[in-house]
Amino acid sequence: MQQKKAVIIGSGVAGMASAIRLAVQGYAVTVYEKNDYPGGKLSAFKTGGYHFDAGPSLFTQPQNIEELFTLANEPIEDYLLYHKIDIACKYFFENGKEINAYSNKDLFANEVQDKTGEPKENINEYLDRSEKLYNNVANIFLNYSLHKKSTWLHTRAIRAFSSVKFPYIFKSLNQYNTSFKTKETQQIFNRFATYNGSNPYKAPAMLSLIPHLEQTEGAYYPQGGMINITNALYKLALKKGVNFHFNAPVEKIICPDNIAVGVVVNYENIIADVIVSNSDVYFTYKHLLSNSIKAKKILRQERSSSALAFYWGINKNFPQLELHNILFSEDYAAEFEHIFKSKKLYSDPTVYINITSKIEKAQAPDGCENWFVMINVPATNTYNVEEVKAAARKNIIEKLNRILKTDIAQHIVTETFLHPQSIEANTGSYLGSLYGTSSNSKAAAFLRHPNFTKRIKNLYCCGGSVHPGGGIPLCLKSAKIVSDLVKHDIKNGRKIHA
């Protein structure tokens, strides 16, 4: 019997994970990537003796990757080493308070109580509810297609619905978090809406399940930096026989009679039995399927936030900083008003700093640190890049100087800049949105594009712009959903959905 063929469009985390899973199923898999490197947003670069992870910097739920290596019958330790970190994040406030968010909920609760006066019982009870919500609801929302009847007819759906209380749906995350007594605690837990590029003042309280991942399960660090997650997936894919073609953008998906039969690359028709698009779903419809009507419908959903980032080589050590750091805005609500309503930079942004040399000193010269400095901004392609760069740099430096009691500009020896337009150009994320659509509505999870196309047979979608969402854990989950759908559809001969 002739071996079935699968084509993957894009080599982001979800694309490579889908390639591995389909290869394990027995497909001859080929990945076409427009860039000259794998990984999509999960990339890295070096400059002036400094190493920088260019994209996602937080590593949680390593079991998602472990599952992939177990499936491929390969020992993960031969590809990727990682360990749990003691402090998931360090928070800085304008009032001078500093809080270590330990990757242990009891230590974290004690720390918040000591620093803010928030009773530790409030933290523990919140995280207990977060864990229960995650275990009961996320099992269906994140691991299965929400667009298949079989998902909702399973007994797991009944358990999930029994855990969904009124506040989770009808309150915003911020309204839910007003149960905390202190502003600092509310702000810490509101911040988790940014994990999928959303607004805590609009997004449903269902997002309160996210803190469980960081504060109870804990945050991890991959040896060599986040880029080694990409390297591990790429090496595993090669081991499983996946073929990669770089500098090879897909120009079109061939789908006569609403059946995907191949792709066009460099004016050549590549025929396959299964097509998986790891490209932004908007661009998939707009450019690869030439379906501007469907693409326009996707834009009815609000984009997630984007990011401005500076990669700074710093010629000094800052012992008060950890691997992950957050310097909060004084007026959090005003910041999100600017991001999602005014669509403008905010003068007092919340600043995130990632410093991998805190764990691996070799990632910066002796006595120096590699700072990945990021702020959330609106997703748009209308920025005047130089004006925005100057304004953001000024705002960030003023905040750092104020909170860290320093003159950071004199310590910056190398600088690289990332903005929404470059994110779109490098990764194909429409308007530079980091997570496709936001979760700023009660129905957002259900409106996110499914992992299959209802009207085109043999075409599937994975990655951050489709279900279940963005970020490394969810991208890996989307790959599993896709591979399960392919297996089911091939076995049962899925028909085109009218």
Which backbone phi and psi does 236 adopt, to 5 degrees?
-65, -40
Which backbone phi and psi does 263 adopt, to 5 degrees?
-135, 165
Domain contains 440? no
Which letter does DSSP use for residue 302 in this model? Answer: P
The pLDDT assigned to 160 comes to 62
User: Which amino acid, residue 317?
Assistant: N
The pLDDT assigned to 498 comes to 35
Reduce the DSSP state of residue 356 to 3 states and report it: helix
CA distances from 172 to 155, 169, 198, 248, 307 (A): 28, 8, 11, 43, 23
CA of residue 305 relative to chain centroid, distance:
12
Do residues 366 and 315 make contact, with C-beta atoms less than 8 angstroms apart?
no
The answer on 310 and 278 residing in a single domain is: no
The answer on 188 and 315 residing in a single domain is: yes
Final residue belonging to a domain, choices 380, 397, 427: 427
Domain contains 94? yes
Here the CATH number for the domain that contains residue 26 is 3.50.50.60
The answer on 337 and 295 residing in a single domain is: no
- Helix 63-71 to helix 227-239 angle (10° resolution) is 10
The pLDDT assigned to 153 comes to 63
* Residue at token pair 């469009």: 9
Domain contains 59? yes
The answer on 404 and 320 residing in a single domain is: yes
Domain contains 397? yes
Do residues 412 and 393 make contact, with C-beta atoms less than 8 angstroms apart?
no
The answer on 358 and 269 residing in a single domain is: no
The answer on 319 and 181 residing in a single domain is: yes
The answer on 92 and 72 residing in a single domain is: no
The answer on 351 and 236 residing in a single domain is: no
Strand-pair category, 459-461 with 274-277: parallel
Domain contains 141? no
Do residues 42 and 278 make contact, with C-beta atoms less than 8 angstroms apart?
no
Domain contains 162? no
CA of residue 223 relative to chain centroid, distance:
20
Reduce the DSSP state of residue 86 to 3 states and report it: coil
Low-confidence ranges of the chain (pLDDT < 50): 496-498
The pLDDT assigned to 97 comes to 98
The answer on 376 and 267 residing in a single domain is: no
The pLDDT assigned to 497 comes to 44
The answer on 280 and 392 residing in a single domain is: no
Domain contains 438? no
Domain contains 316? yes
Do residues 76 and 66 make contact, with C-beta atoms less than 8 angstroms apart?
yes
Query: Shortest CA distance to 216 belongs to which of 102, 65, 58, 62?
Result: 102
**Tally of structural domains, the chain:** 2
Structural domain of residue 308, as residue ranges?
85-128+170-201+213-218+303-427
The answer on 380 and 232 residing in a single domain is: no
The answer on 312 and 414 residing in a single domain is: yes
Length of the chain: 498
CA distances from 305 to 123, 154, 200, 344 (A): 28, 34, 12, 11
Which backbone phi and psi does 84 adopt, to 5 degrees?
-75, 140
